[in-house]
Every structure is written in C-alpha cells, then in structure tokens.
Structure 1
Amino acid sequence: MPKRRANGEGNIRKRKDGRWEGRYTAGYDPETGKRIIKNVLGKTQAEVKEKLKTAISESQQLDVSKAGAYTVSSWMKMWYEVYAEPRIRPNTKSYYTNYIESHIIPGIGSIPLDKLTTIQIQRFYNNLLKTGRVQRKNFPELKDKSLSPRVVRGVHTLLHNCLEQAVAEHLLLANPAQGCKLPQFEKEEMKILPQEKIGLYLAEAEKRGLLAAFYLELTTGLRRGELLALQWTDLDVENRTLAVTKQVNRINGELVVSPPKTRNSVRTLALPQQAVDLLIAERKKHPRNSYLFPSPKTGTMYDPDAFRRTHDKILKAIGTEHIRFHDLRHTFATLSLKSGVDVKTLSGALGHYSAGFTLNTYTHATAQMKQDAADTIGGVISQQMR
C-alpha cells in the first residue's frame, strides 16, 4: 500500500506557461479515501513558496472534506434548522425566515460558502438599503424600495451568527461578515400622548367599552401582546399585582401565545387601586371568560391588529396627532420619570434588561430630571451662601 503524503506536504514546479505552481495535499475524501489536491500559482518560485506555506497552514485549520460542500443558501438552511430554530421564540422565527427567504438567499445564496467575501456581503447590504424591500402580492406597487437600517442590521446579525458557526465547524477560516460597515440607526423622535389629551382619550375608550384596558395600559406600559394575553389568573386583587408571563402575536395569520419578549419581561407589576377597581367591574361583563379583555365579536382573545385599529379610531375621534399604540408605553414611562419614579423601578416595570437601557431610551425625559436635580442642589448651596 503506497505511503500517504501527510497533510501539508507540497511540491513546487515550473509549468510550461512559465508560471510556478505549488501543489499540496489538503486532506482526504472521507468516502473514497483519495487525496484532496489543491494548488497555488505565482510568477516566481519564491512567491509560490510563500503562497504554499500560507495555503498549507490554512488547510490545517479547515475541514477540507466539507468546506467546499456548501453554498451560502445550503449552509444557512442547515444552520437555521439545527442551531437557530430550536432556540428562538415563535415570533422571532417569522423574522428569521423572512430575512433568510426574502433577502439572504436571493441576494447571496448561490455563492459557495468558502468563497464568500466581505466585499460581497458589503455590496449585498448596500443593495438592501437601496432596493431591498420585497413587493408583496396583491399590494400596491412600492414607491420606495429601500429597506430601513434596522432591517439591514437585523439581516447582518442573523448572517453573522450563521457564519460564526461555520468558522466554529472549520468550514471557514474567518467570518467574512465581521468587517462590514453597517448603516446607522435612524433614531425616530419619540412621541407620546399629550398629558392634556389623556382624559379625552380614556373617555373615548370608555364609550367603546375599553376603559379598563386602556387605563391599564397607561398605568403599566405593557406591550400590546402582553396586555391582550392577560388572564384573570394573572390578577391578584388582594395584593394589587398583575403577573406578566406571556404575550400574543400574529404569526402566519394565526394568533400564537408565547413567553414574553425577554427573560426580564416576565415580571409582576404593582397596580393602582383604580386599575384594580376597573378590572373588577370589567370581569362582571364577562365572568366566564378567562381573558381580561376578550374580543367583543368572538369572545376569544382580542386580535392585536383589531385592538390597534381601535386605538387609531380613538385618536381620530379626539382630534390629536397620530401615535402608535406602542407610544402609550412611552407615555407611561415618560410620565413616570417626570413624576419622580426612579429609573431602576421603572426599568423593572417595563421589563427592560437594565436601568441603563431605560435611561438611554428616555433621554428626553431624564434630561429634564437632571436639570431639575441641578436646580435643586444649586438652590440648597445658594441658601447656605446667604
């Protein structure tokens, strides 16, 4: 039996076309046992010798029998099925599958995984920013086909994680997404429901039989999915607390109940007495229903989209500027800070992962708090100077 040439052994020769070639054993085919031979080319023997040294070093870091077996598309599908899907929440799956099927596979899916470069990925991101939005069937033709920086950054995070696993499995030497330049977030001006409009807003909600729901929202800052997934078993009337343990989202046309957004989102909220009184009155309207706020049409869980549309109608009825339903959460947070609620307590109520994140999110409110604090200490010191 002939002696196998060890991985890394190579030889150099001059070709008939005048160039120098270095050939080396990169590995062995696991099925046939045959050597996998690769080569490098150069104008001089010294150049090829240096290239050969680098190529041999790299081959020892790669699983050569598998490194060339995948395209970006086939590896992405493998990674999603094995590593991502079992570990993500149901509503996150819709984001992942959309990024993969609508953007990554059409954009760079056909490229061999081991040939993917940072420049190719960067161009892919640049194109997404300009023309990445997908035209949906039976929808009006898109006038603006650009994707938001937020979505592009989401695509990058997913692709980067996928390629990082390829590095861990010795399919790539390095992650080509690592050096890409990402678009800056376009920070939108935060909107809230004006304080002088809150009374009108709640009065209009009461006309629609939803005073308890919207009062609870404005006094807790719950996410819409958290609010609509609440059941009577989550309410502790005696201790005036509410357990937030689940949320509802519409995924592929179906309402899906899942754990909240993050681990910190599982929390227990303290309620004002008026909120408890309104909820007790609310239960008398539908005593046998398990949900705090069931749909008036179906008696089952309130559809998040229908609930949002009710919010939009209330805003229109009171003649105020349109804000998203999520901005009611911002309204709660802003008013809490301005009323002197400490940031750590507020962060826990909102389900944020840290008080620092809360501070960064509500800088518009905390800036005034800082000025008030400065004025207060300034007044104390000034009195001592008299």
Structure 2
Amino acid sequence: DYGKAKIYTVGSWLEVWMENYAKVKLRPSTFKTSQGFLKNHIKPQIGSIPLADLTSLDLQRFYKHLLDGGRVDRIEAKKKPKGLAPKTVRNIHQMIGSAYNLAMEQKLVSKNPTQGCALPKVEHKEMRTLTADQLSTFFQEARDSGVYELYYLDLATGLRRGELLGLKWTDVDLDRGVLKIQRAISRQNGKVVEVPLKTKNAYRTLPLSADAISVLKMQKCKVGNSEWVFPSPAGGPMSPDSVLHMLQRVLKRAGLPRIRFHDLRHTFATMALQNGVDVKTVSSMLGHYSAGFTLDTYAHVTTDAQLKAAQTMGNILSRAV
C-alpha cells in the first residue's frame, strides 16, 4: 500500500528521518551539518514534492543547481565561490538516499530515486606537506615559541587535531611506550566539548618511539597535575582554533608556507610511505576505516614507490638475464 506516501513530502519525510534515524546514527557534528543541508537546500528546492513523486531527473537538476550556485548567502561566505563543492553535493545525495531507504523499508515508496544519478567527481584538494628540511626549520621555531611538544607528537603519530587535543595522561603509558586514542575534542555551538571518534577504527593504540616518550615526559613536567596532555591556560582541553592559530604563527615566523593543521597528518603519512612503511601499517596508525581509503588518499606517494619497485625488479631481472 503506497497510499500513505502521499501524506509525506520530501521535506516532511526527511524531517522524520532526521529525528528518528539520523539523530541516533550520526555524530553530533554530522547531524548538525545534515540539518543545515535540509533547511538551506533540500526543503527550499525539492521539499514540497510528494515523497513518491521525486524522480532521479528532479535530483539531477537539483544537484546541478547546487553546483552552479547553491551557496547560501552569508557574510562569511562572501569570498567563496557561488556553487557548492562536489563533496558537499555527494553528502546531500547520500543523505536523501538514506532517507529513501528508510521510506522503502516502511513501504512508503517502491524505489529510491537517488539510484542512477550521475554524481560530480570529487577533486582532491592538493595536500601540502612539509619536506624534511622544512620540518627542521619548523621544529626550531616551535621550540622557540614553546609549543614544540604538541607539534612533535602530532608529526610522530599522525593524529587528527581533535584526537591530539583529547589525550589525557590516563591514555599514556610511558613505561610500555604506548598511546591510547579514545576521544576527540571539537568546538560545537561555540563550546569546546569531548566527542566520540570518527569511526570505530579510530579507537586505536599506537606505539611511541623513544623520542616521543621523552617529549611526553617533558610535557608532563610542564603541565604538572593537569589531566589533559595539552591543557588550555584555563585548565580544560585546548581549543581546536587556538592550535591552528598557533600553527600559523609558527609557520609565519619560520618563513614556511601556510598549511592546514590536517597537513601535519598528511606529512606524517607521506614520510612514512616514502620511507618504506607499508600502506596497511600506515592505515592502521592513521585510524582509517580501510587501507583502500589510505591508498586513494596517498596515491601520489605510492606511485613513486611503484616506480622504485619497477626499477628494483628491473635490476633483479637484468642480473638474471
């Protein structure tokens, strides 16, 4: 009986999906983003279409509109391009698809209109990494600025910014030389809060090098009896924005190019891969959900490794010929 579908519009069904499904399944930050998609894009554009009447052509037109000029006019978006990023459009597509899967389970519709849509290709942002020479300049400046420990640990482990700030001394075992990643710090609605990790693979235990252990010992002396490894002056965890501003200051003083905090993680991964650490190991250290994701993200690094492998094989075979 598909009669009930007539009661729902795309907009009203997505609200039901948000409240009963997304709220339970999604991380708070992702949920907030999805709410924005619904309010700013989905409802104004396709919200009034009856649930069972939405076609993949409607969606295709909607996505094209978003890519061409979908950005909501806001002061902070003034300088940004008018269209939404391909990745954002894909996220909106995924959200609608998920809501329609629920509608199919509830026998409200017989098919999912998101199937058969052509999606925009996601262009990978050029990741910027620091070279070995730049790193020594960077560390020198970080030492002078008194923030060496935080950045050293990040480059030694490849932690996400929120994971690094979420470290408590109870997660650190200096005798065994391991670090447990159990929570992250995020800014939500203006407050610095503890949040769960990104995926189940992000809950991980990392080994520490001898140098990383001694850096942590120095940090322990610095912070005294704070429960946080990197506390803010007020005693709670540091805010994600302040670490980024600090990073920009250090880079500027060192005369290095501006990079994002996340690029320190890329630097860790790139250096590990370039120095012969296998992808599976790097993937588990980064807490990625699959080695395939790591391979895709660092394809440009592994291409160089393939070239080396080809040359190595060439050398072995030419000796045999």
State the TM-score, normalized to the length of structure 1.
0.80
CA–CA separation in structure 1 for the residues paired with 2:247 and 2:79:
27
Counterpart for residue 364 of structure 1: 300
- With CA pairs under 8 Å and 6+ residues apart, which has the higher RCO, 1 or 2? 2
Counterpart for residue 333 of structure 1: 269
Aligned: 1:380 with 2:302: no
Query: Contact (CA 8 Å) 1:229, 1:291: kept in 2 or not?
Result: yes
Structure 1, residues 34-93: CA drift from partner, whole Å, max 9, x if none? xxxxxxxxxxxxxxxxxxxxxxxxxxxx331x2211111111111111111112212221
Q: Where in structure 2 are the equivalents of 1:265-276 lying within 5 Å?
A: 265-276=202-213
Counterpart for residue 217 of structure 1: 154
CA–CA separation in structure 2 for the residues paired with 1:177 and 1:379:
51
CA–CA separation in structure 2 for the residues paired with 1:213 and 1:291:
12
Aligned: 1:250 with 2:210: no
Name the amino acid aligned to 1:353: Y
CA–CA separation in structure 2 for the residues paired with 1:371 and 1:142:
41
Query: Contact (CA 8 Å) 2:155, 2:267: kept in 1 or not?
Result: yes
Q: Where in structure 2 are the equivalents of 1:308-347 lying within 5 Å?
A: 308-347=244-283
Deviation at 1:363, TM superposition (A): 1.4
Counterpart for residue 140 of structure 2: 203
How much identity, in percent, do the aligned residues show? 44
CA–CA separation in structure 1 for the residues paired with 2:41 and 2:190:
21
Q: Which residue of the other structure, out of 127, 130, 136, is the alignment partner of 1:190?
A: 127
Deviation at 1:232, TM superposition (A): 0.4
What is the number of residues matched between the two proteins?
A: 321
Counterpart for residue 28 of structure 2: 90
Counterpart for residue 9 of structure 2: 71
Query: Contact (CA 8 Å) 2:145, 2:250: kept in 1 or not?
Result: no
Structure 1, residues 208-265: CA drift from partner, whole Å, max 9, x if none? 2211110011111100000001010110101111000111111222222122110111
CA–CA separation in structure 2 for the residues paired with 1:283 and 1:79:
47
RMSD (Å) for aligned C-alpha atoms: 1.5
Structure 1, residues 107-146: CA drift from partner, whole Å, max 9, x if none? 211222122222222111111111111122x547456311
Query: Contact (CA 8 Å) 1:94, 1:251: kept in 2 or not?
Result: no
Aligned: 1:125 with 2:125: no
CA–CA separation in structure 2 for the residues paired with 1:232 and 1:151:
37
Counterpart for residue 285 of structure 2: 349
Deviation at 1:318, TM superposition (A): 1.4
Q: Secondary structure at the match of 1:215?
A: helix
Larger % of helix: which?
Answer: 2
Structure 1, residues 148-186: CA drift from partner, whole Å, max 9, x if none? 001001000001110121122121121122122111111
Q: Secondary structure at the match of 2:192?
A: strand
Q: Secondary structure at the match of 1:250?
A: strand
Name the amino acid aligned to 1:315: L
Query: Structure 1 residue runs of 4+, over 3 Å off?
Result: 138-143
Unmatched tracts of structure 1, length 5 or more:
1-61
Unmatched tracts of structure 2, length 5 or more:
none
Query: Contact (CA 8 Å) 2:56, 2:117: kept in 1 or not?
Result: yes
Aligned: 1:280 with 2:212: no
Query: Contact (CA 8 Å) 1:135, 1:142: kept in 2 or not?
Result: no
Larger % of strand: which?
Answer: 1
CA–CA separation in structure 2 for the residues paired with 1:359 and 1:118:
32
CA–CA separation in structure 2 for the residues paired with 1:180 and 1:140:
28
